[in-house]
């Protein structure tokens, strides 16, 4: 990673609101009648990171690039 990219990454991490992620997971667990625990929240987050986030990011990036190129 280039030094300039590292700075952008740090800036993005400061912008990212992990409270929103935690609130969303907790609310969705409650809606499904599941107990809100650190283990359940962690399992949801890890499953999402592994199984859904990579493909979702690729789709969004491709759509943004297509929009920019048009």
pLDDT digits (tens, 9 = 90+) for 13-57: 999 999 999 999 999 999 999 999 999 999 999 999 999 999 999
- What pLDDT shows up at residue 3? 66
pLDDT of residue 6: 86
Q: How would you write the chain as a 3-class SS string?
A: CCHHHHHHHHHHHHHCCHHHHHHHHHHHHHHCCCCCCHHHHHHHHHHHHHHCHHHHHHHHHHHHHHHHHC
Residue 1, pLDDT score: 62
């Amino acid at each position: 990673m280039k030094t300039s990219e590292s700075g952008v990454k740090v800036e993005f991490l400061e912008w990212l609101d992990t409270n929103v992620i935690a609130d969303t997971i907790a609310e969705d667990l409650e809606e499904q009648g599941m107990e809100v625990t650190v283990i359940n929240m962690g399992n949801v987050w890890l499953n999402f990171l592994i199984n859904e986030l990579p493909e979702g990011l690729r789709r969004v990036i491709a759509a943004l690039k297509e929009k920019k190129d048009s």
